[in-house]
Each structure stands twice: as C-alpha cells, then as structure tokens.
Amino acid sequence: MQNGRVTDTTSAQARKGKDIQGIPWGRLSITRTKYRQTRLEQYKNYENVTNSGEASEKGCKSTEKGGMYYEFWRNTRSAKSTILHFQLRNLVWATSKHDVYLMSNYSVIHWSALTRKKSEVLNVSGHVAPSEKHPGNLQEGFSQTQVSTLTVKDKILVAGGFQGELIFKYLDRPGISFCCRTTYDDNAITNAVEIYNASSGAVHFMASNNDCGVRDYDMEKFQMSRHFHFPWPVNHSSLSPDGKLLVVVGDNPEGILADAHSGKSIHDLHGHLDYSFASAWNPDGRMFATGNQDKTCRVWDARNLSKSLAVLRANLGAIRSIRFTSDGQFMAMAEPADFVHIFDVTRGHEKQQELDFFGEISGMSFSPDTEALFVGVWDRTYGSLLQYKRSRNLSYLDLLP
C-alpha cells in the first residue's frame, strides 16, 4: 500500500510474503487465517432447494489438495471486474496469455498483461445500435443494457443482457454489427452465450435464456437458425467439440444431454439436488461437467450417463463457472466467492490445486494456449484481476499418469 492506495501485487512480492490481493493483514484486527475460518463458517450459500448443499455432501469424491498447476503471477487493481447478477459469473474471457476481456460496470474492457494497459471495447451505459444493416438486426438498438453474460473468441464479442438483448461485435471492425432481442419477456435473462464454427465454416453463436429457450444464430446470414424449447428456464448450455451434442442445465435438478441439431433430449442427467448454472465440455468430446447450487460439480462420460464419473465438492457455495484447458489436462471450477479449484483430469480428479483469495468471482478463463488463467474478483476495495501462469515446476508425482 502506497499513500493509502492499494497497489498491484507481483509474484516476486508474493514470494516475499505480500498478500496476493494487497490486503494489509498486519494492520487489521484479524489475521488472514481467522478471517478465512469466519468466512467458511458464516458464508450463506444460495439455494433454490432447501438444504441441497448439506444433502449433497454424501457421495462426494475425496481429493488430495496440494497440486501446483498454475502459479500466481500478478494481481491487477486497475482492471476492475464487476458482476450484475449473483448467479451468473461468465464475464471474463482470455483470448491469449496476454489478452483478457472483462465487464467493468457498463463497459467491456480489454486488458493487456503485456503492455499493462486497458482499453474500452464496448460501452453499454447509453444507447447502443448496430452500424450495419441485416434482415435480423434490431436497428433501433438498446439503451442502458445490463450485461449478464459475455463471450469473446476469434476477434468476435457477444454480450447478452437482462432482457434478452444480444450484441455482436467484431473486435477488428468499428461499430456494432448485430443487435437483437431474443424475446420481449422481461424475465428472459440471457444466461450464457457460446461462439463456435459450424461444419459449413460459418460462425455461429448459441444463446441460453430464462424463457426456456436455446437459440442458435448464423452470423454469416445474421439470422437465427434454430430455436429449441426445454421444460424449464435454461441457465447454461454447452456444445460438444464436434457440434453434435448439447448439455443443457437450468432451473431443475436434472440436466439434459440433447441432440444439437434437433434439440431433442437424448438422456437426462440425474444426481444434482438443486438448480445448475454451469457446464463445460472437455476438448476430448467425451467428458463434460455440470455445476450446481448443491455445492457440487459432476463430471460425466457421454458414453455412459447412468451415473457421473465424479462428484467434486466446493468449500463455500454453488459452482458458478467451469472451464477446461484446451489440452484437456485441467478443469477449473469456481465458487461464487473466494475459491477456484483446479483438478488434474488425467489423474481422474484425484488431486487438486485450490486458489484461495477473498471476493466475489465474476468469471475465470484459461488462455487458449493453456499458459495463463485469469480470475475476475469483484470487491469494493480489493476488486481486481488475478493472473496465474502454468507451472513448469511440477513434482515427479504430479507427472505420473
């Protein structure tokens, strides 16, 4: 801390004992250990199903802690990451080990870990309207959009809003290419968006909504190409790497594995006890994971869905975000606050690394080359962007198959 101002923390400073978030524990009336204990005892997990977090404890996989897969590199205070909805935490996206995009109030900002500079990419505080004309474009645009979810990939940004808004922008072009509203239902929050390349080569994105729908948009034609309906509000969906299967989770303890072309259910996913808000596919195309408010992440094998492969438990609360590295070796699951758990997939989730800090988690993202992990932390005083780099100091035991 300099002149009363909390400063960034580097890995060199952390090794010398400085708190990674710059929290001056020596000047406070409580130690870090005591405060951690208090948080574990007093944090209230949000549940739609009463006592789901307590009931789910039985049957969880016991995992060994102490893995060191990603090392703390830097905490950046100037890249302030924020959230707008306590259940939706997909607001941080890395496009390289140096480049990350995140929501900061009403702005999408780009942070360069290389130049240590940030720039505004999209501002939604005022009126937002498309600069291009397409048949499906809502030319009048939107005003004061509350961004609930975000995704960035291949120079494309898609932001979803609290009233079903969708904003599509090419990062290497000026202006906004596409705006649409999925529905005029005020409760139809856009919960998740995913960009992918279709077999035709065209760029598509898929949006999940509280109105029980999943919609697929063809960005070559700038039109919706498919609209699937499910029996409950959808909180998240994930497309398999080959584009054939779709994991759908929402306001129901059971998830669905569906045909990505027809939307028809293939198999129900039994095991969770509360509503789910996260899902992700391993790049191998066989394994996927779902995160639930019952404080567990379930790992599944698409070839045998009679039961989950593993049930992994959180410390504080719901699993709000799940990510796999592009090589499929590691899976990270984020709680609402304070903890991100990284599991070694190749060792059957037997061992994990636990990232421990303080503050609400707005999102997390591995870089495409697996070299970096970014975690957005929202807090009035210590809000920041945590950056970790892939460890090259794995022990002999960590390298065993």
List the beta strands (DSSP E) in 13-69. Answer: 64-65
Does residue 396 carry a pLDDT above 50? no
Nearest to 292 by CA among 259, 331, 333, 330: 333
Strand 276-281: give its sheet, edge to edge.
276-281, 287-292, 296-301, 310-313
Side chain identity, residue 254:
E
Give residue 2's pLDDT.
52
Copy the structure tokens of residue 54.
Answer: 């307590």
> How would residue 394 be classed by pLDDT, with cut points 50, 70 and 90?
low
Nearest to 347 by CA among 67, 71, 57: 67
Average pLDDT over residues 360-377: 98
CATH label of the domain that carries residue 347: 2.130.10.10
pTM as predicted: 0.94
> How would residue 384 be classed by pLDDT, with cut points 50, 70 and 90?
very high
**pLDDT one-digit tens code per residue, 283-328:** 999 999 999 999 999 999 999 999 999 999 999 999 999 999 999 9
Average pLDDT over residues 136-165: 93
DSSP sequence for 158-177 = EEEETTSEEEEEETTSSS--
Give residue 167's pLDDT.
96
Give residue 199's pLDDT.
87
Would you say residue 2 lies in a domain? no
List the beta strands (DSSP E) in 133-222. Answer: 142-143, 147-153, 156-161, 165-170, 178-181, 190-197, 203-209, 213-218
CB burial of 40-70 (b: ≥16 within 10 Å; e: otherwise) equals eeeeebebebeebbeebeeebbebeeebebb
Give residue 182's pLDDT.
85
Would you say residue 3 lies in a domain? no
Give residue 53's pLDDT.
96
Q: How far apart are CA 151 and CA 193, in angstroms?
A: 6
Would you say residue 13 lies in a domain? yes
Does residue 3 carry a pLDDT above 60? no
Does residue 144 carry a pLDDT above 60? yes
> How would residue 186 be classed by pLDDT, with cut points 50, 70 and 90?
low
Q: What is the mean pLDDT of the chain?
A: 93
**pLDDT one-digit tens code per residue, 20-53:** 999 999 999 999 999 999 999 999 999 999 999 9
**In the chain, what percentage of residues exceed pLDDT 70?**
95
Domain carrying residue 15 = 9-399
Would you say residue 4 lies in a domain? no
Give residue 134's pLDDT.
86
Q: How far apart are CA 141 and CA 129, in angstroms?
A: 4
> How would residue 399 be classed by pLDDT, with cut points 50, 70 and 90?
very low
Backbone angles phi, psi at 53, to 5 degrees: -65, -35
Q: How far apart are CA 100 and CA 97, in angstroms?
A: 8
Tally the domains of the chain: 1
**In the chain, what percentage of residues exceed pLDDT 90?**
88
Does residue 4 carry a pLDDT above 60? no
Average pLDDT over residues 237-252: 98
**pLDDT one-digit tens code per residue, 212-224:** 999 999 998 889 9
Would you say residue 310 lies in a domain? yes
Average pLDDT over residues 236-260: 98
Would you say residue 299 lies in a domain? yes
Give residue 171's pLDDT.
96
Would you say residue 1 lies in a domain? no
Give residue 188's pLDDT.
82
Question: Pairing relation of β-strands 70-76 and 9-10?
Answer: antiparallel
Sign (positive or negative) of CA dihedral 254, 255, 259, 264: positive
CB 257 within 8 A of CB 302: yes
